[in-house]
Structure 1
Amino acid sequence: MASLMLVKNSIAAKNHIRPLGVLVLRSSSYSTDGPRPLKTTNLSSIKRGTGGRSSFNGIVATVFGCTGFVGRYVCNKLGKVGTQMILPYRADHGEAIRLKVSGDLGQVLFHFYNLKDENSIREAVKYSNVVINLVGRDFETKNYKFEDVHVTGARNIARICKEMGVERFIHLSALNAEPDPKGHVLKNGSNFLRSKYYGELAVREAFPEATIIRPSDIYGSEDRFLRYYAHIWRRQFRAFPLWHKGERTVKQPVYVSDIAQAILNCARDPDTAGKVYQAVGPKRYLLSDLVDWFHRVMRKDEKWWGYLRYDMRFDPTFIMKAKLTELICPGNPIGELHMERIERECVTDNVLSGVPTLEDLGVNLTPMENQVPWELRPYRAALYYDAELGEFETPSPPKTLNAREEMRLFG
C-alpha cells in the first residue's frame, strides 16, 4: 500500500512539474535574441568565485616574456589567485603550452606575436587591464640587439598599452642600470645595464604611470645565476677565476618567487603606479664568499675536491675561452659564458637609499641559505651518497656584510 502511494505521488509530481518546465523554456533567451547587455564593463565588478585558480579576480593580464625564467613564476602566481592571462609567445609553442596548467579552463589564452610587429602587440593587449613586460636578453644575437629588446621593444609595448587604454603597466628592468657603467673586463662597461637604463626612460616617456622593478641577480629553479657558477664551463678545470678573486664585488641576489609575488602585488595595488622598486634579497655577500659557499654545498671545496679561486686578470686563457664560446655558439653560449655576463658579475649591487624595495610591497624575502642547497643539489659531487649517513660535513653558510663592514672594506 505504501509503495502504491509512493508511485502515485511521483506521477503526480511529474505531471505538476511538466508545465513549469515548459514555462521556463519559453521564457529563456536564445542565441537569436543577441547577447544580453552587461550592467557594467568594470572587470573588478564581474569577479566570480571564492578565490583560487577556478575563480576570476577581475584582472585580465597580458604577460610579455611569459616563457622566460621569471615569466613562468609570474604566470603561476597570477593563475593561483584567479587572473585571466593572455600569454604572447614567439617561435615554437612548446615553451608556452606548459603554462596552460597555471590557470583553470578558459583562464589561460595564448597569442602569437613578434616584438617588431606592432599589430600583434596591439592584439595581445586590447582586452587587458594589466600588462607585464618581462622581455629581456642576457646577450645579443644577430636578430635582436640590446637596443631592440630593452629600449625599442619596451617603448613600443608601453606606447601601445597607453593607446589601448591599459590601466596598469609593470616593467622589469635591472639593478645597477645606468647610462655610463664602469668597465671591468669590457672597456665601455655593460651594454646590458646601459640599455636597461634607457629602456626605463623609454617606458616612462610612453607610459608615465608605469611601475618599474629593478632586480639584482635572480636565482631559483632553472636560473642563470646558480647554474652559471655550477657549470663546468665556467671553471678552469677545478679552479675558479673571478675578477680580483671576487673580493671587491658585493652581491645581493633575490629569489625568483619573491619577484613574482612583488609583481602580483603591484598588479593588485593601484597605489604602486608610477613608482620604482628595487628587488634585492635580504642579505649582502662578497661574491668570493658566495662562490666558495656554492662549492661547499656542491661538495667541491678545496679540502675534499681541490677547488681553487684565483684572479681572472692574470689568466688570459679564460677570456679567450669566453670569446671563443661567443663565436662558436652565438645564439646559445655554453654554460651562459660570454663577455657580457662576466662584465655584469664584476659589478657591485648598488641599492639606493630612499627607493622602495620588495619589503615595501609586503613581500617576505627568502634567505639564500634556505633555498640554495636545494637548487644546487643536482650538482653535488658524490651525488648518490646518503647525506643522512653523516659522511660529509654540513657546509657553513656564507658570511653576510652589514653597512659598517662594507664601508670598512671599500671605503
Structure 2
Amino acid sequence: MKAKNFLKIISVKEPGSQLCYPFTQSSCSFSTEYRPLKDPRLTSLKRGTGGRSSFSGDVVTVFGATGFIGKYLCNKLGKIGCQVIIPNRGDEYDVLRLKMVGDLGQVLFVPYYLRDDESLRKAMKYSTAVVNLVGRDWETKNFKFDDVNIDGAARIARIAKEMDVPKLIHVSSMNATEEPEGHILKNGSKNLATKWAGELAVREEFPDATIFRPSDVFGSEDRFIRHYASNFRRQFKAIPLWKKGEYTVKQPVYVSDLAQGIVNAIRDPDFAGKIIQAVGPKRYLLSDLVDWFFRVMRRDEKWGYLRYDMRFDPLFMARVSLFEKLPGTPMGSLTWDKLERDCVSDVIDRELPTLEDLGVQLTAIENIAPWILKPYRLNLYYDEELGEFEKPDPPPVFSG
C-alpha cells in the first residue's frame, strides 16, 4: 500500500459527518483511503489554483518555439501554468524573450540538433505533450525541404513514441497534397508536396498524432501581410500577382487563434489522431485583399498603385531568380516556391474539423491588419487631423 503509484488520503471526521476541528482523538474517527494514480510522475500532479504562477500538470516541448507561431503558443502555454521546454539551436538571443512567457522555473531551454536523436530524447524525456512547429519556407545549403518537412518530422514523431509521450501535435500546411498543381512552377510547390509526405511519415511513426493544416497565418512579424507590404514584393508602385490575383481565394487565420487551437487540442483527448483545418472566418479573393492592404497604407490609385499579371513581367521574374541565389534570408521572403504557394486557393474539406470545433472564436483579418500595416503607411510621421483620412472599407468576402 505504500507504493508510489497510490495517493494516500487521510480524512478526519466525527460521527455527524462534519469536519472535526480541532482534531482530537476522543471526538474524531480517522480513515485512510488509497487511490491509484494514472500517471505516478510528479509532473502529472497539478499545483495551484490555475494561471501563470500555478502548474497545470502539462509539460510541453515546443520544437520551433523561436518562430512566428511558436512565440504565441509558448505565451499561451505559460499563461495557463504549463511547464514549457524550448529546444533551441544554441543562440541565446533567439530565445531571450521567451524567458518571460512563464513563471520562474517553468520555462526550460535545451540545445538540440534536428539530426541528433539523443538531443531530441533529452528534450522530450519528461514531456506530456510535444508540438512540432519546425518548418522550412525556403531551402538552404544545410536543410532542404525534405530534411525538415519529412525526415525531421518523422524523427520527432518516432522519438516521441519511443519516449512514451502521450500527445503529439504536428503542424503541416493547408493545401498540402501529394502532387500539387503547378501554376508558376511546372511541378507545383515542393514545400506543399513535402508537407504532405511529412504528414504520412508522422502518421506512420505516431498514429495518434493530431495534425494541423493552417492556411496563410497573419499577425505581427508574419510572412503574409508584411510580404505584400514589402518594397521587395512591389515593382516600383505596382504589384505583380499571378493572373492579377483574381483567380486565387485565401482564407487567412490569425496566429493567436491558431495557437489557442493547439493549446485546446493538447488538453482535449477527443482530437487525438485527427486532422484539423486551421482557417480564418472569411474567404477573400487575393486581389481584393491586396487592394485593401494598399488602401490601408494610403497607397491607392492616386498614389500610383497598380496590380498586374506577373506572367508578363520578365524583369520581376529575373529579380526573383536573383534573390534566390543570394546568401541568407531571401529579401521580402521572395522565392519561386513562395510565389507558387501564393497562387494556390485554399480548399476546405467539410468533413474535417476546424478551429471552431476546438472552441476558438476566430478573428477576421480586417480587425488586425491595420495595426500591422501602420509602419508601412505613406507619410507615416505626418500629423493628421481627426477624420482627415477616410477609413477604407473592408475587403469584400468571396461567396463563390
Tell me, yes or no, whether TM beats 0.5.
Answer: yes
Instruction: Report the secondary structure of 1:326's partner residue.
Output: helix
Please give the per-residue CA displacement for 1:158-205, whole angstroms capped at 9, x wherever unaligned.
000001000000000000000100111111100000000000000000
- 2:314 maps to which residue? 316
The one-letter code matched in structure 1 to 2:183 is H
Would you say the 8 A contact 2:43–2:59 is kept in 1?
no
> 2:238 aligned with 1:239, yes or no?
yes
> Which has the higher Rg, Structure 1 or Structure 2?
1
Instruction: Report the secondary structure of 1:257's partner residue.
Output: helix
Paired residue total = 364
- 1:126 maps to which residue? 125
Would you say the 8 A contact 1:249–1:347 is kept in 2?
yes
- 1:398 maps to which residue? 395
Would you say the 8 A contact 1:43–1:59 is kept in 2?
no
Following the alignment from structure 1 to structure 2, what is the Cα–Cα distance between the partners of residues 39 and 207? 21
Following the alignment from structure 1 to structure 2, what is the Cα–Cα distance between the partners of residues 62 and 102? 14
Instruction: Report the secondary structure of 1:62's partner residue.
Output: strand
Following the alignment from structure 2 to structure 1, what is the Cα–Cα distance between the partners of residues 287 and 175? 19
Q: With the length of structure 1 as denominator, give the TM-score of the two structures.
A: 0.87
Following the alignment from structure 2 to structure 1, what is the Cα–Cα distance between the partners of residues 85 and 206? 20
Would you say the 8 A contact 2:58–2:83 is kept in 1?
yes
Instruction: Report the secondary structure of 2:84's partner residue.
Output: strand
Offset at residue 277 of structure 1 (A): 0.3
Following the alignment from structure 1 to structure 2, what is the Cα–Cα distance between the partners of residues 327 and 239? 24
Offset at residue 39 of structure 1 (A): 11
- 1:264 maps to which residue? 263
Following the alignment from structure 2 to structure 1, what is the Cα–Cα distance between the partners of residues 90 and 107? 18
Instruction: Report the secondary structure of 1:240's partner residue.
Output: strand
Following the alignment from structure 2 to structure 1, what is the Cα–Cα distance between the partners of residues 226 and 250? 16
What pairs with 1:42-57 in structure 2 (closer than 5 Å)? 42=41, 46-57=45-56
Which structure shows the bigger proportion of residues in helix conformation? 1
Please give the per-residue CA displacement for 1:19-44, whole angstroms capped at 9, x wherever unaligned.
xxxxxxxxxxxxxxxxxxx9962557
- 2:116 maps to which residue? 117
Instruction: Report the secondary structure of 1:73's partner residue.
Output: helix
> 2:179 aligned with 1:180, yes or no?
yes
- 1:297 maps to which residue? 296
Following the alignment from structure 2 to structure 1, what is the Cα–Cα distance between the partners of residues 68 and 92? 16
Following the alignment from structure 1 to structure 2, what is the Cα–Cα distance between the partners of residues 91 and 348? 38
Would you say the 8 A contact 1:63–1:134 is kept in 2?
yes
Aligned pair partner of 1:375 in 372, 376, 387: 372
Offset at residue 46 of structure 1 (A): 1.4
> 2:365 aligned with 1:362, yes or no?
no
Q: With the length of structure 2 as denominator, give the TM-score of the two structures.
A: 0.89
List 4+ stretches of structure 1 deviating above 3 A: 42-45
- Cα 1:392–1:44 change in 2 (3 A) is same
Following the alignment from structure 1 to structure 2, what is the Cα–Cα distance between the partners of residues 328 and 82? 43
Unaligned runs of at least 5 residues, structure 1: 1-37, 407-411
Following the alignment from structure 1 to structure 2, what is the Cα–Cα distance between the partners of residues 350 and 227? 23
Instruction: Report the secondary structure of 1:378's partner residue.
Output: helix
Kindly report the root-mean-square deviation, in angstroms, between the aligned alpha carbons of the 2 structures: 1.3
Following the alignment from structure 1 to structure 2, what is the Cα–Cα distance between the partners of residues 218 and 401? 18
- 1:145 maps to which residue? 144
What pairs with 1:6-405 in structure 2 (closer than 5 Å)? 41-42=40-41, 46-303=45-302, 305-329=303-327, 331-402=328-399
